[in-house]
Amino acid sequence: MNQEPRVRLVTPGARTLKTLWQLGHADPYWPIPDCSQDGMARWVNTWRAASLCGWGGLWTAWYNRQVIGMVTLSRVEPALLGNLEGVWEGGTFLLPAQRGRGLNLPVKQAMLRRAFASRQARWLVLAISADNLRALAALTRLPWPWQREDGTGPFARLQRYKSWQTGKPMVVFALARAHWLATDDMQH
């Protein structure tokens, strides 16, 4: 996996956020409910506050000196989990023009490194809408042993919560830090 292109995660600056908004806000998968530029500014501010509190973070993803998308990480509220601790949720948005280029893998690598190396997360979960077939297919191409929550496992409550929150059936995948350490050589 060392041959993969390297993606950098960077704290967003105003110019980059404007570029992302210009190139991304009309996309059906734009992650911000209020698609206006002000809506993005408010959304970014909530992530800044979360970052100050240690609950989460938002980064822009860069490849070849170009901004290609965004990555978020947020601590999952313990009440949504059984006995598990240290669970973080990741989110990825690649700009439409950057999809289908094999960049999901290095973006996810950068996200996992950020979660597991810097934040001491024990689990990283991804919640994907059941009708987002592209994202589900992309996940199957990633080389880590994701566990899919089947509705009876440790992430069942989280899955029900995400489905309620988004108003759509959601699929939850979880990766344990121990499994990532065993399979990923990028952290060395």
Q: Which residues bind ligand COA (CB under 6 A)?
A: 29, 91-94, 99-104, 126, 128, 132, 134-135, 138, 141
Question: Taking Cα atoms as reference points, which of 143, 147, 158 lies closest to residue 1?
Answer: 143
Q: Closest distance between ligand COA and the C-beta of residue 1, in Å?
A: 13
- Ranked by CB distance to ligand COA, the top (closest) residue is 102
Q: Which of left, alpha, beta for 74 (phi over 0: left; psi -120 to 50: alpha)?
A: beta
Q: Closest distance between ligand COA and the C-beta of residue 83, in Å?
A: 25
Can you read off the two tokens belonging to residue 11?
A: 């704290």
Residue number with CB closer to ligand COA (117 or 136): 136
Residue number with CB closer to ligand COA (60 or 92): 92
Q: How many CB atoms lie within 10 A of CB 156?
A: 16
CA dist 89 and 81 (Å) reads 12
Residue number with CB closer to ligand COA (138 or 172): 138
Q: Closest distance between ligand COA and the C-beta of residue 154, in Å?
A: 20
Residue number with CB closer to ligand COA (17 or 83): 17
Residue number with CB closer to ligand COA (93 or 123): 93
Can you read off the two tokens belonging to residue 151?
A: 């509705």
Q: Closest distance between ligand COA and the C-beta of residue 152, in Å?
A: 23
HSE on the CB side for 123, CA within 13 Å? 22
Contact 70, 93 (CB under 8 A): yes
Q: Closest distance between ligand COA and the C-beta of residue 188, in Å?
A: 23
